[in-house]
Chain A
Amino acid sequence: MKMDELRELYTDTLMSFYLAPDRKGKIADAQGLEGKNLSCGDRIKVFLQVEDGVIKDAKFTGYGCVISQSSATVMCRMLLNKRLDEAKEMIDRFIDFMQGKDVPEELLGDALYFEGVRRFPSRVKCATLAWHTAKELIQKLKGIQSDAG
């Protein structure tokens, strides 16, 4: 059996994030965007409430595996109170990290808990689904902001 390998992927921390999805739900009146994982058909919708260029609330809805759901929870927690440009940087850093690039660990925060996923290329997509979706949404929101400004 390759149980050790499995436990590298499904760590207790990831499971605890999965079991306590405190960022799950819609935000009324906030902008939302849906992202899909084409290989499995999973969908996730990310909502960001932004005031003066700062993310005041971040939540997600959708159905997915332990990896994608726990990653969405961690992401939404980390996005709180970030400026949009900071948020984008943080997301880029996580995606780079998941794609195997060198990223200073101290900059990753709780996202570092997904390190084990990197060894499972087919699951990297699960871990980054919410992040790609949020990135796209931030781009949209920045566009709206600059239009208004």
Chain B
Amino acid sequence: MFSPEQIRKDFHILEEELAYLDNAATTQKPDNVINAIRHYYMKQNSNVHRSNYELAELATQAFESSRRTIANFIGSEPEELIFTRGTTESINLLAYSFFVGGLIEAGDKIAVTIAEHHSNFVPWQQLSKRFGTEMVYVDTDDEGRISLSEVKKALDKGVKLLAFTGMSNSLGVVMPYVEICHLAKERGVLTVLDGAQLVPHHKVNVKEVGCDFMAFSAHKMLGPMGIGALYGRRELLEKMVPFLYGGEMIDEVTLEDTTFNVLPYKFEAGTPNVAGTVGFGEAIRYLARLEWGKVQEHVKKLADVLIHELERIPYVEVYGPKDETQHSIVSFNIKGLHPHDVSQYLNSWKVAVRSGHHCAQPQLKRIGVPATCRASVYFYNTERDVERMLEAIKNITNEFPWVG
């Protein structure tokens, strides 16, 4: 039985009287994740894949068991799951490796949507600025949706690669990612799916979705910061050159040349963040135990209450499609007040939301605002959190009388 009240007991930080509604930035961590990291350092810490004493075996086992858990969760083979520092590093790894290894060459076209987080935008844009690839932009509509016809239009310009988000971080739009991957595959276009917002909310099986690559971060789904993953289709990863060079990723080093380790180690140079992977694996175990249908329903319901109640307040403007495609994230503005002032005001009500451009300036520019307030819900939020925020917004004219 799914009960947010029960679930909150697993999250120490939520004992504070705080409506934490900044989950798109990072989620809180349950006890089992914190304990697993503590346990690792107390009982298992040593370097992985190095030595054969018992402690080293324990660390390696913990590391690889996390990899199997996470791979299993997204339906990939463990060898196809590379640990990185997070979504940003995963995408930078791809941009670097594609170009250096010749999978992408000067003159090739790369398509991205304007709904992207800067981390799935700037690496591709910089590639074009510095090395002569060409950018093709997929536009959204006024609410931040991507239509399949826009995707087709872009793909038919002869693009080699399409990088797109499964769920936009500024407006919470869940994109038709399965259909988009299908369109790309039909045309032989490589796909990079940014799963940073999507994977915490939707069970994504990479084989069923059919993406070539997917990047995601642990900290947006109960895990620790500084650890994330890149999924890649095996035959592609095998063709790619490493991103970072150093220890762990080699097969044999001579003065003349170096051969590289097998997957996934070829892409994991240096001592990894083992404690991070342990926490990541434990976060996935926690998520895997939840009833996902109920979880999604709960998150959707809370976000919908926010959307509809905010819309009824005359001085509030809510962005995004406000339909079944919008999940968890509610971006809005108060007329006559800057989002920074709104989030500061909400803080005095013990409501935590983010304000700013959310690292998605092209999308905000497209909908015609420089910044928004963004409330984002996760499954441990309750009606109480949402009500507190709504109550605060309804009272904002007491502090800022010119609003409205």
Spell out A's residues near B (CB within 8 Å): 1-3, 5-7, 9-10, 15, 19, 39-43, 63-67, 69, 120, 123, 126
Apart from A1-B349, A5-B348, A41-B357: 7 A-B pairs, beta carbons within 8 A: A1-B350, A3-B399, A6-B345, A39-B356, A40-B339, A65-B339, A65-B340
Known: A41-B370, A65-B338. A1 touches B348 (CB 8 A): yes
| Closest chain B residue to A43, Cβ basis | B370
The answer, among A39, A41, A43, A65, for a CB contact under 8 Å with B341, is A65
**Chain B residues whose CB sits within 8 angstroms of the CB of A39 once the complex forms:** 356
Q: Is the CB of B370 within 8 A of A63?
A: yes
Cβ of B361 within 8 Å of any chain A Cβ, yes or no, is: yes
| Closest chain B residue to A19, Cβ basis | B402
Cβ of B128 within 8 Å of any chain A Cβ, yes or no, is: no
Give chain B nearest CB distance to A63 CB in angstroms. 6
Q: How far is the CA of A140 from the CA of B128 in the complex (A)?
A: 33
Q: Is the CB of B399 within 8 A of A6?
A: yes
| Closest chain A residue to B359, Cβ basis | A41
- A-B pairs, 3 with minimum CB distance: A65-B338, A6-B348, A65-B340
| Closest chain B residue to A125, Cβ basis | B340
Q: Is the CB of A9 within 8 A of B344?
A: yes
List 23 A–B pairs whose Cβ atoms lie within 8 Å, in order of A's numbering.
A1-B348, A1-B350, A2-B349, A6-B344, A6-B347, A6-B399, A9-B344, A10-B399, A15-B400, A19-B402, A40-B340, A40-B356, A40-B371, A41-B357, A41-B361, A41-B370, A42-B370, A42-B371, A63-B338, A63-B370, A65-B340, A66-B337, A120-B344
Interface string of B301-321 (1 = CB under 8 A from A): 000000000000000000000
**Chain B residues whose CB sits within 8 angstroms of the CB of A120 once the complex forms:** 344
**Chain A residues whose CB sits within 8 angstroms of the CB of B345 once the complex forms:** 6
| Closest chain B residue to A66, Cβ basis | B341
**Chain A residues whose CB sits within 8 angstroms of the CB of B340 once the complex forms:** 40, 42, 64-65, 67, 123, 126
**Chain A residues whose CB sits within 8 angstroms of the CB of B350 once the complex forms:** 1-2
**Chain B residues whose CB sits within 8 angstroms of the CB of A7 once the complex forms:** 399
Q: How far is the CA of A1 from the CA of B395 in the complex (A)?
A: 12
Give chain A nearest CB distance to B105 CB in angstroms. 33
Give chain B nearest CB distance to A100 CB in angstroms. 19
| Closest chain A residue to B401, Cβ basis | A15
Interface string of B356-395 (1 = CB under 8 A from A): 1100010000000011000000000000000000000000
Q: How far is the CA of A140 from the CA of B255 in the complex (A)?
A: 54
